[in-house]
Every structure is written in C-alpha cells, then in structure tokens.
Chains A and B, each alone.
Chain A
Amino acid sequence: MLKQDLSSPPKGFGGVFDFVLRQGSTGVIWLGAIFVTAWSMWLISDIVFNGWAGLSYDFLTHTPTNAGREGGIAPILVSTGLVLAICMAVSFPIGLGTAILLSEITATDSWWGGMIRRSLDVLAGVPSIVFGLFGNAFFCNILGLGFSILSGGLTLACMVLPILIRSTEEGFRAVPIAQKLGASALGLSRLSTLFYILLPIAVPGLIAGFVLGVGRAVAETAALIFTSGYVDRYPESWLDSGRVLSIHIYDLSMNIAGGEAHAYTSALVLLILVLLINQTASHIGLRYLRRGVT
C-alpha cells in the first residue's frame, strides 16, 4: 500500500485543477508576451506614423527656427554626437578596466570587490535626475565647466558606467575556467591571456553593456538638462552649451505650442539612431569574434 503511494505520482487536486493551472499559466505567459509586443509596436508605429512626413534631408541639415517649430535639427544632432562621444570615450576604458579588475584580479569573495559590486548595483538604479544634480554641482560648479557639452558627457559617463561595468564583468565571468587554466599552464602572461583568450570570449557581454549604456545615454533628458543645457545653436567648443535630441523632443512637446510635428520627427530620428548604434555595435562585435579564427 505504502509502496504504491510512493511510486505513483501525487494526485494533487485532481485532473481539472491541473488542467486549469496548466492552461492558465500558458495563457498568462502568452498574454504577457502579446502585451509587451503590442505595446512597443504601438509606440513605434505611433512615432513612425506621425514623424515620417516631416523626415527629410533638409530636416537633418538645417538649424531650427521659430523655437523649433520650423527648420531642422542639425545643431542638435551635432551636440548629441559630441555628448555621446565624450560619454563613451570616458566610460568605455574606465568600464573595461574596472570590469577586468573586478573579475580577474580581485578574488570573487574579497570584501572590497563585494563592496564595489554592491555600490555599482545601487548606482545603476539611481534615477537620472540625481545624476543630473550631481553633475551640475560637481562638473558645472566645482570643476567650473559650466553648462557645457563636456559637463553633459561626463555626467552621462557617470550614469552609464555602473551598467557598463557590471555587464562587461559578467562577460568576463562567462570565460570557462578550463581556458584560464589552459592559458596559465602554458605560462602565458596576464596580458596575452587577456587579449587573446579573455577578451574574445567576453566581447558579447561587452557589446551588451555598450548597447545598454548608449541606449540609456542617448535617451537621457533629466541628467543633461542641468549639465549640457538647452541652447539650440551649434556648439562652438567642448565648453559651449548644447541641446541634445532628447531634450529637444521634451522641449518641443512640453513647452512649445505647435511643436508636436517636429517633436515626432525628432523622436523618429532618435529611434533610428539607437537602432543604428545597436547594429553597428553587434557588427563590430562579430568582426572581433571572427578575428581570432583567421
């Protein structure tokens, strides 16, 4: 009797309950998937539908007039590019270096490695407005950089770094221990192990971090409004103020009556920009991955 009870599967609440539970959970999963897809499809098609008409070569190459209601977004694209360039030029080497330090040089269980990781996780979740205020206080005022492309780029770098470091570190952790042992057993130096064995395997994590970071940076408004400013002419130097795309969109849709059309078109440009960056990043990543083989 007892033996049979153990060997036959538990009956639970009977067939009907099981059926409902199984079908129900499948349904919930499908609903979730459909909801997420529909939501983003709706968002994207709304932007494309409303912004497409205004998209033209002239729009990309002319300066805005009449507070942005007319003209184009050329200076805004330039400012966006400069801010992004500073952000990436600063955060990429620091991020890569910190990730290497965390995953390869400090022991997994070391006290300060854990502290750094925890602080990074907290920083990654801090609202961007806090970074904006910090950037304003630190870069604009204390360092005296004022409202400028440089302050904006550096503030963005601070904001992006936690994500970049953590995901790059995950990339390094994905390297199998057998590879590290193999490299050590051949007496390879840390540097060649890093370049030829760790980096190629870690590249996917690096790319993911980069895409997430740039995505967050290019869409950022709150952190930049206090640091790079919102003057919509061409910036004359790194220390000049400039308006990035996301702030332009925000300004047009919130503050300028009759700015919706151009806000939509700018949003479309932003969307295309993000897609382009993602594509280029994964393309470079693939090239790098194949590099080792030939």
Chain B
Amino acid sequence: MNIPTTIEALDLSSTIIQVENLSLHYNRKPAFAEVSLPIYRDQITSLIGPSGCGKTSFLMCLNRLVDLVPLAKMSGQIRFNAEDIAQKKVNVVALRRKIGMIFQRPNPFPLSIKKNLELPLKEHRTKNKAEIEEIIQTTLEAVGLWKEVKDRLRHSALLLSGGQQQRLCIARALVLEPELLLMDEPCSALDPLSSATVEELIQQLKEKCSLLIVTHNLAQARRIADYTALFWFAEQTGKLIEYGPSAEIFNQPKNQITEAYIRGERG
C-alpha cells in the first residue's frame, strides 16, 4: 500500500480520526483488510470503489454499528479524540452520539416528523420543551426543510418525499451535534433534483462537522470532496489502494487502477 507522502506531511492535529491497520471479517470471511488512513477535521472525505469492496462495512466500524452484526470481527485501531474506539470496552452510545450516520435508503422512524427529531434530543441533550422546539426549528432550517414542513410537524414522516426524508434523517443526526457524520451513498436512492439538494446541503454541513461520504458517483466525489480514498479488491478482500486530496486523485492518480477507474474503464 502506498499512501502518498503529501498526507504524511500534513499536520496530524488536524485529523479527527486516525485509522490504523483496520480489518473486518464476517464469519471469518474478510470484508476489507489492513486499512490505514487519517480523516481530516472539518473536511469532506469521500470513499469510492466498486460494489462489495467493504465501504459500508468500513463506515459501520467507525461508529461500531458492526457490533450489531453477529459474527463480525474487527481488528486494528481507530483513534478518535485520543481514544481507541476499536476497543471492546468503549461506550458505544456516547460514541454514536458524536459520530452520526446517514444510510443509503432514508430510514425515518414511522413516527411524526417532530418525534423523529425529539427522540434523539430527549435521549441525549435536553428534555426542556422550549429548547427542543428551538433546536428542531434551527436544525430543520439548516437542512432546508423548515419552510416545507413547519405546518405539518405532527404528520407522519413517512408521508415526506424521498429527498425530504433523507434531509430529515440528516436533521435527526444533526440535532446531536456530531463531530463526524458518516454518509453511506446518501444520494443514490434519490431522484436527480433531490440528489442535487442533498449534495448542496452536504457542502454546507462542512461548517458544522467533518464528513465521510461513500459514493458511487465519481463526479459527485470530485465536486464536493476535499479528500478521496479508493477501495479496491485484492484477493477478494477490500483494500485501500490510493488516498489523497481529491484534486490529486482525480487529476494525477499515482496508481494505474485508480487512473483506469477514474476514466471509467474499470469497476
């Protein structure tokens, strides 16, 4: 694995997460192996690569959602705020509060729009009604949903369009003020217009938190990501084959596979 020297030269205090030698096995079958990379604070990092090379699995390691998968076994280190969060004893509830996640398919709870946001708020931040109202409004404004839904906060969230549902899910993660937001192909289940809206939103989110985004849309990665990581198969196992500033990855890739993938010849 050859991580470009430009990365190593960068100031390490600007990294929010440092992944070292991370591997994941599902029932002894490796999903990805020996991934090491830093994720930079207040930047958008994109994760690209062919289907099945372990991108989703990688995200689920960072907030320990893999704990829910029976027979999944993780090894290696993930340094987050001077703590190794790959350790068994880590408080995953506190961790997931700080590292939010958005899924490929919008998954609002089958409750009202308001309840969707209230639930995580009451659990982690405040039970004060006025405060909750205020946070709900500012967060919905931040995701550009307030005007569209302010008159129907008590309606079921399932009645929203796909794009609105996805923005609601983003709002639901944002009410906890995460330090890092993991997004697993957040636009791929949406129509082009909603997809563009969400993409715009993601760019604005950069001011609030760091972002790690899995995407199959190379143009999107190129547009929004400051850094890009490419996962590839090596002996049926996902590996990180190139990582660096998006401009370098897309304009002067060092790896031949990367070059072919970017040009759309492989993958």
Measuring CB to CB, which residues of chain A are less than 8 angstroms from any residue of chain B? Answer: 107-109, 176, 178-189, 192, 196-197, 200-201, 292-294
Q: Which of B105, B111, B124, B176 has the most chain A CB atoms closer than 10 A to its own CB?
A: B111
16 intermolecular pairs with C-beta atoms under 8 Å apart: A181-B107, A182-B103, A185-B63, A185-B101, A186-B97, A186-B173, A187-B93, A187-B96, A187-B120, A187-B124, A187-B176, A192-B123, A196-B115, A292-B111, A293-B111, A293-B156
Within 8 A of A (CB), among B110-126: 110-112, 115, 119-120, 123-124
B109 touches A196 (CB 8 A): yes
B154 touches A293 (CB 8 A): yes
B120 touches A196 (CB 8 A): no
B68 close to chain A: CB less than 8 A = yes
Complex alpha-carbon distance, A181 and B173, angstroms: 13
Residues in B with CB closer than 8 Å to A188 are 119-120, 123
Q: How far apart are B94's CB and chain A's nearest CB, in angstroms? A: 7
Q: How far apart are B3's CB and chain A's nearest CB, in angstroms? A: 29
Residues in B with CB closer than 8 Å to A176 are 107
Report which of B93, B107, B156 forms a contact with A182, defined as CB distance below 8 A.
B107
B111 touches A196 (CB 8 A): yes
B234 close to chain A: CB less than 8 A = no
- In the complex, the number of residue pairs spanning A and B with C-beta atoms less than 8 Å apart equals 78
A181-B103, A182-B107, A187-B96 known; A293-B155 Cβ under 8 A: yes
Complex alpha-carbon distance, A179 and B157, angstroms: 13
Residues in B with CB closer than 8 Å to A107 are 70
Complex alpha-carbon distance, A137 and B94, angstroms: 52
Q: How far apart are A213's CB and chain B's nearest CB, in angstroms? A: 26
Residues in B with CB closer than 8 Å to A109 are 70
Q: How far apart are A173's CB and chain B's nearest CB, in angstroms? A: 15
B119 touches A186 (CB 8 A): yes
Measuring CB to CB, which residues of chain B are less than 8 angstroms from any residue of chain A? Answer: 63, 65, 68, 70, 92-97, 100-101, 103, 105, 107-112, 115, 119-120, 123-124, 154-156, 169, 172-173, 176
State the majority secondary structure of interface residues on A.
Answer: helix
Report which of B100, B110, B111 forms a contact with A185, defined as CB distance below 8 A.
B100
Report which of A187, A197, A292 forms a contact with B112, defined as CB distance below 8 A.
A292
A187 touches B105 (CB 8 A): no
Residues in A with CB closer than 8 Å to B124 are 187
Q: How far apart are B158's CB and chain A's nearest CB, in angstroms? A: 9
Complex alpha-carbon distance, A176 and B124, angstroms: 24
B112 touches A178 (CB 8 A): no
**Which residue on A lies nearest to B67, using beta carbons?**
A184
B111 touches A200 (CB 8 A): yes
Complex alpha-carbon distance, A185 and B170, angstroms: 12
Q: How far apart are A292's CB and chain B's nearest CB, in angstroms? A: 4
A181 touches B120 (CB 8 A): no
A294 touches B154 (CB 8 A): yes
Q: How far apart are A79's CB and chain B's nearest CB, in angstroms? A: 41
**Which residue on A lies nearest to B182, using beta carbons?**
A185
A184-B68, A292-B115 known; A179-B107 Cβ under 8 A: yes
A186 touches B155 (CB 8 A): no
Q: How far apart are A58's CB and chain B's nearest CB, in angstroms? A: 49
Q: How far apart are B205's CB and chain A's nearest CB, in angstroms? A: 16
**Which residue on A lies nearest to B100, using beta carbons?**
A185
Complex alpha-carbon distance, A192 and B95, angstroms: 18
**Which residue on A lies nearest to B68, using beta carbons?**
A184
Residues in A with CB closer than 8 Å to B172 are 186
Given contacts A184-B65, A186-B176, 18 further A-B contacts (CB under 8 A): A108-B70, A179-B109, A179-B110, A180-B68, A182-B107, A182-B109, A184-B96, A185-B65, A185-B173, A186-B123, A187-B93, A188-B123, A196-B119, A197-B109, A197-B110, A292-B112, A293-B156, A294-B112
A178 touches B119 (CB 8 A): no
Complex alpha-carbon distance, A109 and B120, angstroms: 31
Complex alpha-carbon distance, A176 and B70, angstroms: 17
Complex alpha-carbon distance, A294 and B153, angstroms: 9
**Which residue on A lies nearest to B91, using beta carbons?**
A187
Complex alpha-carbon distance, A178 and B111, angstroms: 15
Q: How far apart are A198's CB and chain B's nearest CB, in angstroms? A: 10
Complex alpha-carbon distance, A188 and B120, angstroms: 7
Residues in B with CB closer than 8 Å to A294 are 112, 154
Complex alpha-carbon distance, A180 and B65, angstroms: 10
Complex alpha-carbon distance, A22 and B149, angstroms: 52
Residues in B with CB closer than 8 Å to A182 are 103, 107-109, 169
